[in-house]
Structure 1
């Protein structure tokens, strides 16, 4: 008799994990006691992947290989060895399919923790195996309910859940049994000041792309390690900055969405806030005013110049597709994603080569126009000057209020502070609102405007950089086609350019 193992990370009743190596050691000893030979190549899952029906989209490659080998007759053993029955699966349907495959291949099942062998071809053995699957699925269901209840209770108490939030560090101690126990969540001395600075800059009106640029220039690592070398070279992006500023946890709030009802609940968090609520709210207002939350920042991965930038007359961002031109030839188009029977209204498409040529031609002509350069320079200078004026005004008002607060406390007279607030609050709020609306001019656009070698510089830029320039300058819209008219000239008449 020859035995072959399936090993998967397990947790026993004590909560201790049983690694595949530990399972293998116990399995090997049991197989030797039975007098069987052990196959040198077990099916092994080294990642902790749940076999429960509550697991979300995580594959078990070794389990799939086991099933494929049983079906193909290449299992190469007489006995499947499991450390416990639930190692095979916690889904009754999946386990029943495996039992059928084992029966067809005439393979026995030996469960080490029970010291019992089961023959799927016999009623008693089949019943024992299927009963184990029912019991495992039942336990999984109870565990899932218990976990959801624990997560909900922890959220209502403002407790932590999941990975550590960038800007904080977690301090752990040890329980009486030696297990790590979370004692506190504290601001990280290295990254907490960066988080505060990002919020303050966005709340003060700085553009999120400018914040990302400065973080990259300063060599600040991104909140999460990059998964690829190419992504690591990109560093911070506008979207990353927006995601950080949108995170309410930095204001000391625990946000939890109930998976059953979909209700979002907010409770005071156990960790300290890195930014005060007023700053967080002002930052949200700035993002909302610019529509930054809805902007795509996947330009670094784009391969087509106008995907998502070109708009259908219905307002939807257009995406690429392919159409036949006869004789088996195909060409790329930008097309509205609306399908027949979907979004009502007219929907358009245009050849990629025509749209790209026309938009680039119009944008480069505009950038080369001396009038545009003068306007950009004037607007940029005026914007920077006005922003500095507003920042000085806001700083002076906040200083005045701080001094009034101190004087009020010293004199034990609240009216001092109230009178100071009445005097400066309207001007302070007006200055903050105006500052929120000033985003400045993209430096990439300013660097291109008026250059004599503009065409050569444009050709040397990658698609991501070109797309950023286009987004900052123009909003192209494709109008409906005119029956009987085709080609570049017809496309020119259909392209409406809305300059920003």
Structure 2
């Protein structure tokens, strides 16, 4: 196709001359444009390091060579900045293509792809097949030199190979990138991108160490205290170290009109109101180790959880749960000016403020955070009943949510009974003799120090360490009633005994 060029009126340009050199033949001898109507689909991952025009052009050239003489491309769908791991219904242009496939007046008969790995990943072809077959739409791939025969198991098995190769390519790239970022964070303390934490701002840190990137003009950045917000971070930590609760600190910030992070930096937070501090915001600041001056990486990881499938296509959504502190990558040297010392940060993590009840001293739960529900996997809630510490799990049920039917029975555990079982279990004491101590605080300290947890359900209690699982079996004929907190209101005694029956395994 000739490109447009600026030309002086009346002057013959190279482009106009080239157009005039086409050969003309009688129309009855000119082959008519017949055949299949194709929808072209292509994709590129990044917009920062790839050119949309060139990437789309070479993929479409491959597709046009494939369908030459057998049809023509009538419509184009091209996704930009979308990973191949993303399911088709979650890609903007691929989703439009799927919607067009389901439309009887779609205007095309087949889909053509310029490169398998650009369009498909893993088992996506297998998931797309029922949709294409149901609507009678062919899929043309360069790997099959034409249409895919969905009824040919040998051909489908062959196409599994590029799908696996595409998945392997993504995995290898992720592994290399992760290993490099780990080294850069730990050994160099390098800022690896993203917005600066509240209290800091980004400043220039010199040219990029990679010569190619430096030639392109890329530069490094580092964190520097923000004169406007850094004093507020120091004040938050000082108040926490003085014993104040997160809620009271948040109220003071709002009452004094201190701009919240989204209000102080609205350009990076257009999706937030920027009006008030939230409890979660203050809690996040108090638990961010980067305020110590260390670069900390890998505090969160990305999971791809399954969501409701779209027909036969498996879809995912990304979640970023927090990693445990031992999995963090911490720089060996101070990477930026600290706002708090490491001692202050560690001390702040050990503070747990609890409201003092009007009828006595603060309630103490020795096993808080160590008990897990064996039914749903949640950490059990601390629950004070009849003057004793206990724990319960409602399996995600709250009063604001409609009761599910059927729903697992609420699990209750008394702290004193559980500690008694731990002190009596001889098999557990062979490997952890400290757990035989009559001092409850020594027992719980040993559990926390050795990363041990207690998992409970309605039938069994187990003590789990990183390397072993111990079943806490009570000696003799121990009644099940020890595992239940007594009923909180009067009722039929027989019904209560039936509901609190416990069978040990």
Give TM-score scaled by structure 2 length: 0.49
The TM-score, its normalising length taken from structure 1, stands at 0.50
Structure richer in helix, relative to its length: 1
Relative contact order (C-alpha < 8 Å, sep 6+): which is higher?
1
